[in-house]
Structure formats: structure tokens, C-alpha cells
Amino acid sequence: MARDPEPLEARLLHLLAQPRYQPLAKTDLAKKLRVPVDERAAFRKLLQRLEAEGRIARIRKERYVLPSDADLFTGVLQVNPQGFGYILNETGDGAGDVYVSADNMGTAMHGDRVVARIIRDDSGELPAFRRRAARSGRIIRILERANETVVGTLQQSRHFFYVVPDNPALVHDIYVRLDGMAKPPSVNDKVVVRLDPWEHRHVNPEGRIVEVLGPAGAPGIDILSIIRKHELPTEFPPDVLLEAERISFDIPGRERAHREDLRSLPVFTIDPVDARDFDDAIHVAPHANGWEVGIHIADVSFFVRPHSALDREARRRGNSVYFPDRVLPMLPERLSNGVCSLRPDEEHLTKSVFVSFDRHFRLQGVRFAATIISSRRRFTYEEASRLLREPDGNAFSRHLASAWSIASRLRKQRFRDGALDLEMPEVRVRVNARGEPTAVEREVYDESHQLIEEFMLLANDMVARATRERLLPSAYRIHEDPDPAKLEEYRELVKSYGIPVGDLTHRREVQRLLDRIAERPEVAALRVGLLRSLRKAAYSPEPLGHYGLAKADYTHFTSPIRRYADLIVHRVFNALIQAPGWKSQLPNSRQLPDVCEHISNTERIAADAEREAVRLKKLEYLQKLLRTPHRFPAVVTDVRNYGLIVELPDLLVTGLVHLSSLEDDFFSFDAARRQLVGRRTRITFRTGDRLEVRVSRVDAFKQQVDFAMLRRVSAAKDERRSGSERA
């Protein structure tokens, strides 16, 4: 049998790597590689893809070379509100990001994919940023614009109108014209601007207003601005709504015939107090040799069939998005809050994972089934926590206790196996009917949350293992091993705080570090730093394992109401249980890579939008307090030459106490010890000091908060020694 010819991509890269290769344009490259004329269009697309990925680069006269041969670098630009930026290094070569000064940015904007020429002579420009970037560059080409539209606030000068972008990383105001608009917006209205081509950095970008959202201070406009900024869909198409309306709440008789009837079991749910879409329910039952855990997940795949209007829209959205004042669901409300939601005392179709444990809580067996349940009790997390602490003797109190006995052992075993505790604290912003923040409450992550988390992890693990063993096409949740160079950068950051740290390429050392920093005031900053040094979790058709969870097999199966990935896995689950028509529901292997990339992207967009909305509401809440000053406990998390970086532990808000506001003395910065020292009083401010502060200024545009110190509550114990002594 003749061997398959070497792929065109490999032949192209091999040619460009030859020592005597002379740069060629695409037509000459096609001839050199003997690409047939009818395949030239595909060849051009290959060149475009490889250039976007940074694996080849274009130089003068549209000729192609390897980037290293021309000191070129490709990546996504991240701009700091102060004007400079970094091109992110996604290659994993350990060379770090590339710093770009404002003067070398050209007309590139935040989020653009760009090509930069490495500047060999830094000429003193770079030292302040060397921790993150050991080289600097000048942007020479924009491959892909990230911002076709921009959301901002309309302003007016003497001679023209302009829009100030909501995103502080978009550092240029955008000039706009209002003539020709049927209903021109007013100054301070939130608007959506479509950008014109921007070719000259010495003049501001221009655009035209394509949508007027409303007055900046009007109820709901702030969240609507975030929705438009991230291009999130707010309305379902008519055919999707029509298809949803045709779905009956009644279970068809034919389904009862081939499903296990679990309606007599003590099934219950545990969810947030304001939850409406209940994906999951559980039960725990003793048997002769130990325990059986049942994890029951809403059978969304029964109602949302492949290639239907509902399926197409769910795939497009990728996931639900949760804001303080609203939800943008993946599925219409009739399904998400009705037919599919496992509300108590109602019959619902489910997919179930049954896991058996012996008396010593060791795993004995797993089986899968299509089922019918009726939840017998709905717990909020608060109710479940209270019953775990103070059992009331009720049967469900005993069920909860049994469930926690199993979950707590699963949790301990998971961390013994190397899982990392990467949970970040979160806050919930309460809003009134007008969308105005009324309270900011820190989320409690206690035994009730951990109970549900462990059972969901268990189900996801079991399903992933089964689909992988049976070689079924599926979507896996992956978290690839980190880049050692990124971990070393993070290690240097940790050492700068005087914290002992070993080789972070060893998982156990990462676990020890997380334990070591758990009670430190810098814990939030250090955890964020660690997360940034790790790769992002994503979806993949290949079971590449999950670094953070220390699992070889993992998927998302337990939230099909709000995640399309889980809906894919439910269709694969039908193959595991040989459900009627399972073959027609299996995902297409050729399409899976694109689907996984798409839903990974929609997940990132949703997470960014949700974080931005919470941050915005927290700033609005603090701004209201300027009129009625409050006292907040604060912890110094870092010390800079311009002031103290402090965090409000109750609100998870970070801000600055300016050096100029410390009026009782003249303070100088000791960089080696990361502290401010009073020249006259010798008072010292360092990381870990506990303060009492008030809000002095909120800059909504820059999304920054300044605090004024009222008093120092306690000084930090200086237990730090040099990193070299203890590392």
C-alpha cells in the first residue's frame, strides 16, 4: 500500500525552515510545493491560519518566513489603561510576553491579534516591566481586529462629539458624527459604535453610532451595555420559542416503559436560595454491603434533539449567563425553569449515575440508567448547612448526614490524589427591582456546597471514564499541565513576598504552597497569580486529563440546562445505556473540534461578562456610600512606592490608599522589604497590616477605588526572611 504523502502544512513548515530558503510569496510557494491549481484556495487559507497562529509571518512584498528568522512575534495584545501593553505569548516556548510601549502600538487596540518586530535595543525602556516581559516589540501589522463595535458613553467638546469606551483598556476616545441620525442620542447616553478603519495613530479612531441604549444612569442600562459589549444574545428566535412551546410537561407513556422508576426514592436537591433551574438531584441509600449514591441529572437531551431549532440556538449561545439583575439562559424559560427543571413534587425525566461504596466507603461499582424521579425535598444551601450542623431527627436530615459522610471522604481522597484547591472566594450582589445594588454579601463555601460539588465531580468522572473506555466521540473537560516557564515566573513572585517555595512543577509543592498562603493577607493576589500561570480549562474531543482536579478522565455532564457541553455528553450517555435511537444522537467526530473550540470561547466570554457586571455593581454600591460614609475593615495586600494596595475582605474589593493621603508623616518606600517607613515617626506599613478605611473616590470609567485610612487596627507580624534562606 502506498504511504500517504506528507501533509501540506508539514511540507510548508519544513521548506521555510531550510537554511538556504529564500522568502517567497504565496504563488511562488504554491509552485515550489507543487500545490495543484484546484487546491490553491485551501492553500491560501492554510497560510492565513498559520499566520494567525504565529507559526509563520509575512514580511515585505507579501513573502513568508518563520517568525524567528525575522525577529517577528504574533499574539493577542492586552493594553493597560495607562497606555502600554503586552502581546501574550501562547507558544509555550518559555520566552515570556512581549512588552509594547504606547509609542510602538500603532493603531492596534486591546484584544487585537497582531504581529510585532522584536526590538533588540531596549534603550532603558523595559526594566520596570521585566518581571513579566524580558523583551519589547513594535507592532507592524494587525491580523485580526477584536473590536468591530465598542460600547461607551457619548460626550461633547466644543467642536465635536466623542464616545468614551466602557472598557478602560480601550484607551482612545472615538469621534462620532450625529448628523443624519433620525433620533440623535443625548450627551451621557450609552451607545454602541461601529468602528471605521483606523489607519493613523496621530488622530483618534472614528465610528458611527449603530444603537442607542439609553441614559447612562437609567435602570438596567449598565448591564445592557455589558451584554452589547460582549455581543450576547438577549432574545430567542421565533422558531426556537415555537418549538419550546410545543413541548409538553407530561411524560410520554412510551418513556415510562423503558425507564427506571425512582419516584419512591428519597431524592432531594440543594441549590442557591434564588435558583430556578435545577439541573441535579441526589439520593443516598444503604444496602447490604455499604451505600449507593444516585446522581440524577435533568434529561435535557430528550427534549432538545440534534439539529433542531432549540439545539442550534443552544449551541450558538454555548451556556447561560448570570448577571446580578437577570439571566440570559441557554434554553427558553419553558425548558430551563419548567419542563427540565427538577422542581420538588413533580415527575421529571433524568439521566442517572449510580455509584456503590462498601462499608469503608471504597468504590465498588458504577452503572448508568435513564430514569424518572420526583424530588421529595428542595434544600437551599443555607438549610442544608444548618441541618448538617444541627440535625433535627427528620429522615432527610439523616439522608444529608449520610451524603456528607460519603462526600467528605471523597473530598479528602481527592486532595490526597493531588487535586488543587483553586476555589476563589466570591461575593453576591443583591439588587432591587431597578437593578440598584442594595447589599454585597460574601458567598459561603461550606459543607453543603462541598457535598454537591463532590457528587457532581464523581458523576462527571464516571461518565468520562466510560465514554473514553468505549471510544465514543465526546466533549471532555480538560486542564492541561502548566508551562514550567510560567510556573517559574510565578515562583519568583511568591519569593518576592518572602514565602518559602520549592519546585512548582511538582504537584505536591503546589499543594504545600496553597496551604502555606491560605491564611496570608496576600492570599487573593497569590491565588490569582497562580491561576494566571496555569493554562485555562477548556473543552476538547480528546481526553487530555484535568490538572487542577488531578483526574485522568473528566467531562461536564451535570448541568445540561445551562451548558451545551453537558448536552453533548448526555447524547453520548445514550450510547452507554443503549437508549432507543442513540446512534443518531452521537456527535459528529469531524465537527467536534470546532464545537469544543466554540463552547470554550462562549464560556470565556460569559465569565468575563459576569465578572465585569459584579465589579460594576460593587463600584456602584461603594459610590452610594460616599454620601453616607461607612467604615470598612481592610487588609494591606501589597505596598508600592505610591501607596498601599488594600482589600476589603467582606466585599472582595481592592483599591488604593494613596501615599499622599498619609498626612501624619513623610513616608519613603523600602523596595527590598516592600514597606513604607515614616521618616519622623518610624511607623511602618507592610503587607498584612489591618486597617480601617472609608471610600474616598470611585472612578467608574477606570473602574478604580481609592480609600482613606481612618486608623491602623493592627500591624502585621514580620515573620518574613529572605526567599533564599527558606526556599
pLDDT at 27: 93
Q: What is the mean pLDDT of the segment spanning 51-69?
A: 88
Q: What is the mean pLDDT of the segment spanning 189-204?
A: 93
Q: What is the mean pLDDT of the segment spanning 113-121?
A: 84
Q: What is the mean pLDDT of the segment spanning 180-184?
A: 89
pLDDT at 507 over 90: yes
Nearest to 149 by CA among 80, 82, 213: 213
pLDDT at 121: 56
The answer on 212 and 188 residing in a single domain is yes
Place of cell 518559555: 94
pLDDT at 244 over 70: yes
The answer on 546 and 657 residing in a single domain is no
pLDDT at 3: 42
The answer on 413 and 319 residing in a single domain is yes
Counting residues of the chain whose pLDDT is more than 90, the rounded percentage is: 73
Nearest to 710 by CA among 650, 654, 664: 664
The answer on 384 and 268 residing in a single domain is yes
d(CA 290, CA 356): 7
The answer on 434 and 526 residing in a single domain is no
Q: Is the residue at 233 inside a domain?
A: no
Q: What's the number of CA atoms in the CB half-sphere (13 Å) around residue 244?
A: 23
pLDDT at 360: 85
| CA quadruple 108, 114, 120, 121: dihedral, nearest 10 | 10
Give residue 428's identity as a one-letter amino acid code. R
The answer on 470 and 376 residing in a single domain is yes
Q: What is the b/e burial string over 365-393, where b = at least 16 CB atoms within 10 angstroms of the residue's CB?
A: ebebbbbbbbbbbbbbbebbbebbeeeee
Provide the 3-class DSSP secondary structure of residue 460: helix
pLDDT at 2 over 50: no
The answer on 244 and 175 residing in a single domain is no
Q: What stretch of H or E contains 706?
A: strand 704-714
Q: What is the mean pLDDT of the segment spanning 155-178?
A: 94
Q: What is the mean pLDDT of the segment spanning 192-197?
A: 96
Nearest to 18 by CA among 54, 64, 52: 64
Crossing angle (nearest 10°) for helices 592-625 and 221-229: 150
Residue 650 sits in a domain whose CATH number is 2.40.50.140
Lowest-pLDDT range of 70-84, 113-127, 151-165: 113-127
The answer on 375 and 448 residing in a single domain is yes
pLDDT at 69: 87
pLDDT at 318: 98
pLDDT at 653 over 60: yes
pLDDT at 439: 93
Lowest-pLDDT range of 455-459, 527-531, 665-669, 713-717: 713-717
What global pTM score does this model have?
Answer: 0.88
Please state whether 318 falls in left (phi above 0), alpha (psi between -120 and 50) or beta.
left
The answer on 720 and 663 residing in a single domain is yes
The answer on 425 and 380 residing in a single domain is yes
Q: Is the residue at 547 inside a domain?
A: yes
Q: Is the residue at 343 inside a domain?
A: yes
d(CA 154, CA 624): 23
Q: Is the residue at 619 inside a domain?
A: no
pLDDT at 613 over 60: yes
Contact between 335 and 247 under an 8 Å Cβ cutoff? The reply is: yes
The C-alpha cell at 537 is 480549562
Position with higher pLDDT, 681 vs 727: 681
Domain boundary among the residues 552, 581, 614 is at: 614
Q: Is the residue at 160 inside a domain?
A: yes
pLDDT at 393: 81
Q: What is the mean pLDDT of the segment spanning 222-243?
A: 96
d(CA 218, CA 212): 13
User: Residue 555 has what DSSP assignment?
Assistant: B
pLDDT at 125: 46
Q: Is the residue at 224 inside a domain?
A: no
Place of cell 504574533: 74
Residue 57 sits in a domain whose CATH number is 1.10.10.10
The residues facing 539 across adjacent strands are 477
Q: Is the residue at 285 inside a domain?
A: yes
Number of domains, the chain: 6
| Average pLDDT value for the chain | 91
Q: Is the residue at 225 inside a domain?
A: no
Nearest to 569 by CA among 579, 559, 584, 580: 559
| 3-57 pLDDT per residue, tens | 445 789 999 999 999 999 999 999 999 999 999 999 999 999 999 889 888 889 8
The answer on 137 and 164 residing in a single domain is no
The C-alpha cell at 272 is 442557591
| 306-344 pLDDT per residue, tens | 999 999 999 999 999 999 999 999 999 999 999 999 999
pLDDT at 716 over 80: no
Domain that holds residue 661: 626-726
The answer on 214 and 194 residing in a single domain is yes
pLDDT at 55: 87
